[in-house]
């Protein structure tokens, strides 16, 4: 499947399904970009490792993102945060995945976007200590570990993807799992 067909199929799948939108209630609204990198060696996902000095999810693997500012949409917030954290912006937003809750009190909207690759990242070291990529094909072939996690009065499945010496888990892994449900096979 060529690049244009992949983008069209993924966007069609994202836009043609009912998306799970969660009410924020006492939680704060946030958004992340799920950066799909279009490179000569195939499709990849870009991940960041959060600074160990942050109050929430310090040192964890994440997607670029953060809290919505007043009058901001999830797409606007995700794109703004991506630029603030790693110095790049997406070329094209394809759609949104299901909202996810965070134990830190956020309701996160994942925004799937295409990013030209390679390009130079400018990491904001107060928020991001490093960035790395994983082949989308590799993720599609993995069988993640999972466990049931109880949070407040509810429970949810938490996924774990092991990649080299890294463990992608929790909110980020759940977003990856949701993305892979709609991604065409590569």
Q: How far is CA 108 from the centre of its chain?
A: 10
Contact present, 35 and 113 (Cβ < 8 Å): yes
| The predicted structure's pLDDT at residue 175 | 97
pTM for the full predicted model: 0.92
Structure tokens at 87: 């110095």
At 141, is the pLDDT very low, low, confident or very high (cuts 50, 70, 90)? very high
Q: Render pLDDT for 35-71 as a digit per residue (tens, 0 to 9).
A: 999 888 899 999 999 998 887 777 899 999 999 999 9
Secondary-structure class of domain 3-141 per CATH: alpha beta
Q: Is 74 helix (H, G, I), strand (E, B) or coil?
A: helix
| The predicted structure's pLDDT at residue 122 | 97
In Å, how far are 12, 25, 36, 148 from 63, measured between CA atoms?
23, 23, 11, 22
**Better pLDDT: 101 or 11:** 11
100 pLDDT higher than 80: yes
Structure tokens at 185: 């096979």
């Amino acid at each position: 499947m060529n690049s244009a067909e992949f983008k069209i199929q993924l966007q069609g799948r994202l836009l043609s399904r009912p998306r799970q939108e969660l009410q924020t209630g006492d939680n704060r609204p946030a958004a992340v970009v799920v950066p799909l990198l279009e490179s000569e060696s195939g499709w990849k996902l870009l991940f960041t490792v959060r600074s160990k000095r942050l109050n929430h999810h310090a040192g964890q693997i994440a997607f670029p993102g953060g809290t919505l500012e007043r009058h901001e949409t999830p797409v606007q917030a995700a794109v703004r945060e991506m630029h603030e954290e790693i110095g790049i912006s997406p070329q094209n937003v394809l759609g949104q995945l299901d909202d996810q809750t965070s134990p830190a009190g956020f309701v996160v909207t994942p925004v799937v976007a295409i990013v030209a690759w390679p390009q130079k990242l400018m990491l904001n070291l107060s928020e991001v200590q490093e960035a790395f990529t994983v082949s989308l094909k590799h993720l599609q072939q993995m069988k993640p570990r999972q466990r049931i996690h109880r949070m407040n009065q509810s429970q949810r499945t938490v996924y774990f993807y092991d990649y080299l010496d890294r463990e992608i888990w929790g909110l980020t892994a759940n977003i990856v799992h949701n993305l892979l449900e709609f991604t065409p096979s590569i």
